Structure 1
Amino acid sequence: MVQVLAKRAIRLCLDKDPGAALSVIDECGEVDFIEVEHGCYVSGSDNLMRVARTYGEIRPVVFALAEHGFFAYASDGRTTRFVHRRRIPSFWQPVRQGDMKVDESGLIYKLFLPEGVRIGSLVVVFSSMSNPFDKASLTRYFEPNFQSISKHLPDGVAVLRIADLDGVVGGFYLPTVNYPRRDWEVRALIDKVSAGLDLEPSRVVVYGASKGGTAALSQVLLGGFRGVVVDPILDDASYESRYNDTHWTRGGVFLNAKDVYFDRLVANSSAGDRFDDARLVLVSGVGSPLFSLVEGMSERLDDVGRRHLFVVSVDERIVDHPHVSVRTLRTVTGLLNMQVEGISVCPGRREIFG
């Protein structure tokens, strides 16, 4: 059942009674690496996360690993390997090589600074779900969306990308059992980076689509930043029921359901809205399955007096959630540039055809 591989590493063999595995995971406080053998469940090349979506009885094992801070980093189809979050800085190659940095709270990030110009703004890009979203690699927590963004922004704009190392496939940059103040830790990192660049909060623009949009909206509502938010995921129920919980939110990783979390943020957000223009832009498409939720968010923001622009695409080619960020990219790029340059954006609702 359990084999000790090294001082802080074990191999755990799953059998048809995964309850014993849960007991072992609960006692793994000093373990850094766990190899989980799951070959008795599948003969193909799937990792433990994919196997558990077919065999529901081992889903609690995946949740337990995530709740105890273990992240899948490799799989050979019969064994999936996990590393504890405390070892990530010394284990993950981009960090060890200096390409990415780690702050005091454990957030891993990458900062691009343009050369030869004065830095006048900071754009923060939050990761959406990776493709594939459940690959057994730490890169699933750091999807480099809009890789060419710097080419489409004015000179003098720094770009900050923050990894979402939490949960099974991501923590949405929100509070979890591993990081109960993750949203505020993200805020603190942005404040630290912008202060180091001598930028006021009004010179910071947060951007994200899908999961990244969830994070961007959270940071705007916490106060102070401009934001362009594309089709954010605002509840858990739709993905839990429609897609068999592909985001792994049913377990005990997250401290709040997203709708509860955002209800609280919206209720407190109007106090920080001191501006006449729209410093928040919400973008969605009528063909997105998330449209009603995003529209509902816009209405709630109106109810509390939080000024914003709600951009609605009526492009008939948008028939699913991922299509929104693709089909609205030109408009979103223009809105990002307006926010970066501090050009006033009128609040309200606007329909677009792209």
Structure 2
Amino acid sequence: MKILTMGSPASTYIFKQEVNEIYNGNYNVQTVKEFYTLGHLLSRYKDVKKFAEIFKKNEKLYEFLSWNFEDNFWAKLGDFQPELLVLDLFPEIYFGSLKLKDGTMVTRNFRLMNSVPDDATIFNTKSSDYIETVAQQVECFEKRVHEISPNTKLIINGAKFPIHMSKDGAIKTKYYRSVYKFSVNKINGYNRHWEELDKVLREKGFHVLEFNQKNSAAEVNFPTGEQWYYFYNQSYYTDVQSQIEVLAQSYNLGPTILFLDEDSQMNIEEINQEIVFLNVPGSEENLKVFQKNKKAKKIALKLSAHDYILHGNMGTFYRFVKRTELDTNYPKYKDVHYRVIPPKEDKKYWSNRLLVRMLSFTAHNKTSMLGRNFQRDFKTLKDSVVKNTYILEIGDINLINGSYYTNTKNFPDYEEQVQELIRFISEKYNVKKDEIVLYGASRGGTGAFIHAALGNYKFVAADPVINDMPWYKDSDIHFIEGVREVDLTEKVRSSLENYKRASSDGVILSSSNVGVTFSSHLRLPLEKVTLLDLSMNLYKHPGFNGKTVSIQLSVINRLLMEDNVNVIDSNADLPVGGVVLEIKHLAKNAISFDKIENFRIRLDDIKSSSELEYEKAMKNIYNEYKHIRTDDFFEYYTTL
């Protein structure tokens, strides 16, 4: 499906995977430069360009007004021939236009334009005929679009100024006024005009997408770092994309879609549509709604068993997509989604390490699969592990809330694919097996434990949930009934059968004060691993991970670096060649040689030292030490 988007970021960002984690990247999408009114685009370019000459000293404004929309929009439209053209009318509502004496309309970009020329009239929402005139411009715009691209369907994105701000997806009661300056009255004023325009356009037969004011918000931690009212939270992008896809199907375009409700009697195993929308009315538009609607939950579980994953929602319609067809902004090894976080520094301190992180639950109820099972958290981890450590984070993209990285009937080779991915990444970055550590907490701890056992790796599992029975009894909040084993104890036991490492290489961090998980840890073959009981004033599983981060890091770093740390009792314990000394210290006779039998000097140090300094150094050691060999990195010396 070919889609052209324009207007403002409210539309041009809908199909950016960096921003919209629901988007699969499976459409041919192009964008048009933002913030031009339709009146501007319907005018003659040569007249707009002539007007732009007035502002030649204002480089940014001149560049904006001089943009050749004849070539970069209308000609592009003709070449591209999109099936859908999605635009919003933010430029009309926010900027308005300048109307010149000859009828030319020019976008009034007051972000760049400080004053209005004498021969221009402001035309905006304060103008008496504004709404009807803009609606007529939309009709003229559609007519010209069809003259150039006859099969293009025009979709108006009814975006609005959100009345809420969100932070990491969570809607807040107030805006941060240091970032978002508009008053509530100003926001409501813009939206009132926008809604009036939407109403007129719908009456004229245009498709206008709904704006979900309840769940849409301005996201302060937007993925690109930008902040303004049209940089929205994920809920907005999911909702708008879904509406576009539903419209596309009515035109026989885009993905195949099926709608179900809680009373649907369809045989789920016969469903093969690319997207399934399950309507679950409720006061909340997140996964909590399924805890109150058992019939809908039963259908959701059947869909997950049929290899669909819940990924987003359009209001009360929950969006299920085929697991095997999910593509994201992250790399994918076969069907396993992952990301690699490189070391903080490029400098080579020692051989590369690899920390494989399996992710825990942090947002059970988000409708985005990535929000639930592949969230971006622990962003400081790369700052806290030993040098030259690559971090491989693996998403648990299976079922509804993941399968703890274990095989299921719908994904029978999940474990094999994860093991292959770990080998693939370790080979790519030249990491030896003894310098790989698997790590996770809660669900991720279980995944790290099992996969370390399967692959014979070191691991740190922080309070792993081996037996899900307490959560299963609590309304099955992890969505596992009938789709995976509730108790994974036997799975862990069998995985450990071929674990050949020392028990100190596999560490479970737990607490007897948190009996809900500790009781299942006691059932494991503890001769194979090390179970550490942290006797903290902590009694709840959800708080364990956050309160023990420093302890987790200490164990992780010990396992990552232990092969490069030596206990020295005598010279015999030193690395081959002995200690490394510097020319400048040798030249100043500043070294105590009492216990030094052998030493090395770096060739790079010799090259960077002056000839005089090198001669002094050699003179000072001449009577006690002799040079015995040189390799690619060092000169080696030993006692006479």
Q: Does 1:113 align with 2:342?
A: yes
User: Corresponding residue for 2:333?
Assistant: 103
User: Corresponding residue for 2:491?
Assistant: 261
Q: CA deviation at 1:152?
A: 0.6
> CA offsets per residue over residues 58-103 of structure 1, 9 Å max, x none?
32201111112222222244211122123212xx3x2xxxxx2011
AA partner of residue 550 (structure 2) = R
Q: CA deviation at 1:130?
A: 2.9
> CA offsets per residue over residues 232-276 of structure 1, 9 Å max, x none?
0111322111x211111112x22674123123223x13xx4254x
Q: Does 1:292 align with 2:519?
A: yes
Q: CA deviation at 1:294?
A: 1.7
AA partner of residue 560 (structure 2) = V
Q: What SS does the corresponding residue of 2:522 show, helix, strand or coil?
A: helix
Contact 2:339–2:393, Cα closer than 8 Å, also in 1: yes
AA partner of residue 438 (structure 2) = V
Q: CA deviation at 1:225?
A: 1.0
User: Corresponding residue for 1:350?
Assistant: none
**Given the superposition, is the C-alpha separation of residues 146 and 262 from structure 1 closer, same or farther in structure 2, using an over 3 Å criterion?**
same
Alpha-carbon separation, structure 1, partners of 2:555 and 2:394:
21
User: Corresponding residue for 2:562?
Assistant: 342
Alpha-carbon separation, structure 1, partners of 2:322 and 2:501:
43
AA partner of residue 136 (structure 1) = T
Work out which of the residue numbers 77, 81, 86 in structure 1 matches 2:324: 86
User: Corresponding residue for 2:458?
Assistant: 226
User: Corresponding residue for 1:54?
Assistant: 292
Q: CA deviation at 1:226?
A: 0.8
AA partner of residue 296 (structure 1) = R
Q: What SS does the corresponding residue of 1:158 show, helix, strand or coil?
A: strand
Q: CA deviation at 1:180?
A: 0.9
User: Corresponding residue for 1:37?
Assistant: 279
Contact 1:134–1:169, Cα closer than 8 Å, also in 2: no
User: Corresponding residue for 1:351?
Assistant: none
Contact 2:255–2:275, Cα closer than 8 Å, also in 1: yes
- Give the RMSD, CA atoms, in angstroms: 2.3
> CA offsets per residue over residues 189-224 of structure 1, 9 Å max, x none?
001100111222111001100000010000121132
Q: Does 1:134 align with 2:365?
A: yes
- Give the share of equivalent positions with the same residue, in percent: 21
Question: What TM-score, normalized to structure 2?
Answer: 0.46
Contact 2:443–2:465, Cα closer than 8 Å, also in 1: yes
> CA offsets per residue over residues 113-147 of structure 1, 9 Å max, x none?
2242335200011111132x021112212033422
Work out which of the residue numbers 185, 188, 201 in structure 1 matches 2:417: 185
Equivalent residue runs for 1:232-271 within 5 Å:
232-241=464-473, 243-251=474-482, 253-254=483-484, 257-266=487-496, 268-269=497-498
Alpha-carbon separation, structure 2, partners of 1:153 and 1:101:
23
Alpha-carbon separation, structure 2, partners of 1:217 and 1:153:
20
Work out which of the residue numbers 509, 516, 526 in structure 2 matches 1:283: 509
AA partner of residue 112 (structure 1) = I
Alpha-carbon separation, structure 1, partners of 2:452 and 2:475:
30
Question: What TM-score, normalized to structure 1?
Answer: 0.81
Work out which of the residue numbers 312, 315, 331 in structure 1 matches 2:533: 312
AA partner of residue 305 (structure 2) = E
User: Corresponding residue for 1:13?
Assistant: 260
AA partner of residue 45 (structure 1) = E
> CA offsets per residue over residues 44-71 of structure 1, 9 Å max, x none?
2334x43221122232201111112222
Work out which of the residue numbers 208, 214, 231 in structure 1 matches 2:446: 214
Alpha-carbon separation, structure 2, partners of 1:188 and 1:113:
20
Alpha-carbon separation, structure 2, partners of 1:311 and 1:147:
26
Aligned length: 311
Q: What SS does the corresponding residue of 2:478 show, helix, strand or coil?
A: coil
**Given the superposition, is the C-alpha separation of residues 63 and 274 from structure 1 closer, same or farther in structure 2, using an over 3 Å criterion?**
closer
Work out which of the residue numbers 203, 207, 213 in structure 1 matches 2:435: 203
Alpha-carbon separation, structure 2, partners of 1:73 and 1:59:
15
Structure number with bigger Rg: 2
**Given the superposition, is the C-alpha separation of residues 291 and 177 from structure 1 closer, same or farther in structure 2, using an over 3 Å criterion?**
same
User: Corresponding residue for 1:301?
Assistant: 526
Q: CA deviation at 1:10?
A: 2.1
Contact 1:111–1:160, Cα closer than 8 Å, also in 2: yes
Q: What SS does the corresponding residue of 1:208 show, helix, strand or coil?
A: strand
Query: Can you give the 5+ residue segments of structure 2 that lack an aligned partner in the other structure?
Result: 1-245, 566-640
AA partner of residue 248 (structure 1) = F
AA partner of residue 208 (structure 1) = G
Alpha-carbon separation, structure 2, partners of 1:274 and 1:327:
28
User: Corresponding residue for 1:329?
Assistant: 549
Q: Which has the higher contact order (CA 8 A, sep 6+)?
A: 1
AA partner of residue 26 (structure 1) = E
Alpha-carbon separation, structure 2, partners of 1:52 and 1:336:
38
Alpha-carbon separation, structure 1, partners of 2:461 and 2:260:
43
